[in-house]
Amino acid sequence: MDKWWKKAVFYEIYMPSFCDGNGDGIGDFAGITSKLDYLSNLGINGIWLTPFYQSPKVDNGYDISDYYSVDPDYGTMADFEQFLSEAHRRNMKVIVDIVLNHTSSEHRWFQESRSSKDHPKRDWYIWKDPVDGKEPNNWESFMGGSAWKFDKTTGQYYYHGFAEEQVDLNWANPEVKQAMFDVMKFWLDKGVDGFRLDVINHLKVKENYPDNPFDQETNKQIHLFDMDQEGILEIIKEVSAFVHAYPDKFLVGEVGSEDLTVLKEYCGTNKLDVVFQFNLGSIPTLDVANIYKQLTDMESEYGDDQIPTLFFGSHDMSRFISRFAIEDYEEEVAKLLATLMLTAKGVPFIYYGDEIGMRDLVIDDISKMKDVQGVIAYQLAITAGKNETEALAEANLNGRDSSRSPMQWASTKHFGFSEVEPWISVPDNDVTVENQLENPESMLSFYRKLIELRKEIRALSVGNYQQLQEENNLLMYERSDEDSTVNVYLNFSHQNRKVSLDDNSNILLSSRRSSILSEQELEILPYEAIIVENRR
């Protein structure tokens, strides 16, 4: 029997930006619960929530100060439990983001750890003496700047792979491991259906703390000793065994790499069920040759117990409708990529708002920038001597506010997200659910049709590739199972492309035309996706 997640269509909800249910300008559980029917009608059967735990939100919730409580911005534990119950009532599974790698510097554990070198929790974090009056080594934070922060209380540095307020836990300490397993147990007992494990390949560092090398060509540090270290996979296997002891649970890992040979080490039997496929999902430009290469590499490199993930948007990257925009074909390209995401081999993850074609938010004043990564980039640019305009451009390039603007529900002042000023800026456009709901040609309607088709035709969710090829910017794949065979044609060019169909072919869906007669010689329009079923 197929595991539920292999057939699921997941939908990522960025907690503060989906729907404000209590009128304070911040999304919350009451708001999400009020929109579950919308998600159900879209066809979603898996929800991924970004962190909702108590947090000072230096990194918008990925800096957790209490793993056992719901942040008041998002409601109460009762609100969470009601949301979970209502989602389950609609046959939607819920996976929650969890950060095992680091805690907030405001977490009680760290406050105790920093209080004294002799405190029992001192070794819960990574503390090192200065070397020649400076940082213990040259490691850089993944957000920029040094990964070491001097703490005057005890005269030592602590390690933070990300923001200085996100302090890395010491997973070499068995007490830390037990504490985090207790956290997972708490939420599993609440009834969550699994976890998305944040930056999970950063769980350990090289214990003798050697300097990282530099790439002379790019003048960037190579993170050789502070990620993907020995011992991480053993922990992953323990996490997997623990979580999967609960029936029907799902584990997806964020492994911070675009290297498939690294990614594939983390998933499969007794490991994570899947990992996010950044080798495909984070491609910067619309390059069909690269897309084809990533699909074929995943097909050849992955074993029988491994399955890719399919996504082009998340809270950490720009909206793909903006990223891949081609003049005069913006929505056509977005529908083309949506077709790929929902019909190729893998588990699809839709990012909230992509189903209506929400565009990137551009911040016009650094005082409005909410993302710590953008603020750090701005500060580093100013320090390097760049002017205000150049520094702001760096902030928008490196920051992640672009895809975190409020969900655009209706054509009102605040897009129906809230009755008051939202926590983050809103873009200036008329892209809304309200405008698309009843329009059969809209992006939203197309997503609905795609998801419905994926559910109806088993080959589109669990079928294997019989063919996978690219020629003249036309990507084509054939997927089949014992019941059906489906061909998907994706035209990534400005020109029409011709394909020959069998007599028994039936055109199921086009991204650009409401209906097409099945012909033996089929003309595929520029940036059109066509799905064809071959009857048996």
Q: Catalytic residue, from 97, 168, 198, 355: name it.
A: 198
Rounded to whole angstroms, what are the CA distances from 463 to 11, 376, 390, 466?
Answer: 22, 45, 48, 9
For tokens 């909800």, name the residue.
13
Respond yes or no: is residue 327 known to be catalytic. Answer: no
Tokens of 358: 């929400």
Question: What angle is formed at CA 430 by the lines to CA 425 and CA 434, rounded to 5 degrees?
Answer: 105
How far apart (Å, rounded) are the C-alpha atoms in residues 331 and 335? 6
Residues in a beta bridge with 468 = 477
For tokens 């046959």, name the residue.
91
Residue type at 319 in one-letter notation = R
Respond yes or no: is residue 198 known to be catalytic. Answer: yes
Residue 138, judged by CB atoms within 10 A of its CB (0-12, 13-18, 19+), counts as: middle
Tokens of 496: 């029409």
Burial 501-523 (b: 16+ CB within 10 A, else e): beeebebbbbbbeeebeeeeebe
Rounded to whole angstroms, what are the CA distances from 45 to 88, 230, 275, 322, 445?
Answer: 9, 36, 19, 26, 17
Neighbours of 386 (CB within 10 A): 15
How far apart (Å, rounded) are the C-alpha atoms in residues 75 and 489? 45
According to DSSP, the β-strands at 46-49 and 10-13 are parallel
For tokens 């650009």, name the residue.
512
How far apart (Å, rounded) are the C-alpha atoms in residues 437 and 373? 35
Q: Catalytic residue, from 79, 254, 528, 533: name it.
A: 254
Question: Which residues have a catalytic role annotated?
Answer: 198, 254
